[in-house]
Structure 1
């Protein structure tokens, strides 16, 4: 059956992802993706510390590939490492960071760890964060401590698709402590968020300014053209007057000559 094969394949991918997570402790592991290629299975590992994933002279990757071949019977697994751009906005990396710091410093400083991580995440541009540390912290009785800041959706489709959630464990002397992290990244689009397009108003203002400038230039050109016409008319009038004067002088000369001839 095709359905059974599909379920087997997804189960195998889930087991491989868990194996990679357990193998890459304290390496800033974010997530793993699997792709089928003609050459074999391609496994993409996203981590904040690619150097720790690779290891010295690539020993960690070689060991991981050999373990995948033996345990899951993969023919030619190709491991590709991708670096996470902003690790403070990744819930898996943040949860792993909290668990490692609790294992290092103990349960007495869990409040300082929670507030420090929360401030780093909000400083990276997150809209909201929630951290829940549950276990025998700091007393012998189990208790849950909640750290939250900003705006975080708890229900609806955005709570599933727009919120990055992760879970991690910290092994302490008093027992196992569970860590839940929920982060709302800055690029989530909320349905009740309305943006006003101010660019259109700026464009209208620019068009109005251009129209005003064009009108001013047209007026100036009209004034200049009218002034030029007046100047030309004046020049033509002066030319006509000079011609008339010349004609009158010529007529006077001719009359004087005729009178002289008559007297003779």
Structure 2
């Protein structure tokens, strides 16, 4: 039972940030929490944003204003021509919240490395499985793309009636290292499902992007010019032996 804990919740406040950042009175907390859920669900199911490749939605609240940060692989699809997509999304959210006067600010952020994002990798695998592509081929392609994007490790697990088998099973493929027990490890995790003609397949993706010291940037890899301590000690010992032979 060692690896059953959620990788994101395990690292909140260490290497992971909360997706919703606001403060409210105790009696209003359930209402605002439900609003956050409805906002994210609306964006995830919007037909106009189906092909936008949305990786994350961050929500902040200031007084009576809502600030949304949408991380997407295709910002042009979200923004639309002349900002029409943003205005349509804002109007839809105001209607959803039954408050046409609610101020909603929407910031669109492009995902830097699309092939290294766990959400986008999971959605890609799900789309391919729904098209009846072999799961081994899909997983291998996703891992190769992630490795080219520069990740240090990746693990993809698929569960269900794989390739239409009569008995459901679970298979996973891992490349590199994925240290789930290391708190300072930057683990990007996502779970999604694929609707196939044989039933539902569960997809889990873990992406290891390197170790992070809280409050600092990612730990830099040791330089090739810096020699390990043991090698330096061996060189000093060899120099000492040479001097003793000279004497």
State TM-score, norm by structure 1.
0.64
- Aligned equivalents of 2:60 and 2:78: distance in 1? 19
CA distance 1:179–1:171, shift in 2 (3 Å) = same
Show the counterpart of 2:45.
22
Partner-residue secondary structure (3-state), 2:28: helix
The more displaced of 48-57 and 113-122 is: 48-57
Partner secondary structure for residue 93 of structure 2: helix
- Alignment: residue pair count: 194
Match of 2:71 in 1: 46
1:180 aligns to 2:204 (yes or no): yes
Higher mean alpha-carbon deviation, 112-121 vs 49-58, is at 49-58
**Cα shift at 1:59:** 4.8
2:125 to 98, 117, 133: 98
2:73–2:110 contact (8 Å) kept in structure 1: yes
Aligned to 2:226: 198
- Kindly indicate whether the alpha-carbon contact (under 8 Å) linking 1:134 and 1:144 is maintained by their aligned counterparts in 2: yes
Take 2:103 and 2:25, find their aligned partners in 1: how far apart are those partners? Answer: 24
**Which structure shows the higher helix fraction?**
1
Residue 189 to residue 17, structure 1, CA distance change in 2 (3 Å): same
Task: Give 1 or 2: higher strand fraction.
Answer: 2
Cα offset, 1:19, TM superposition: 2.3
Q: Tell me which residue corresponds to 1:238.
A: none
Whether contact under 8 Å (1:28, 1:93) holds in the other structure is yes
Q: CA deviation at 1:64?
A: 2.3
The answer to whether the Cα contact below 8 Å between 1:26 and 1:96 also exists between their aligned partners in 2 is no
Q: Which structure's CA Rg is the greater one?
A: 1
Determine the structure 2 residue equivalent to 1:132: 157
What is the alpha-carbon distance in structure 2 between the residues aligned to residue 14 and residue 135 of structure 1?
28
- Unpaired stretches in structure 1, ≥5 consecutive residues: 200-264
RMSD: 3.0
TM-score normalised to the size of structure 2? 0.68
Contact 1:29 1:45 in 2 (8 A): yes
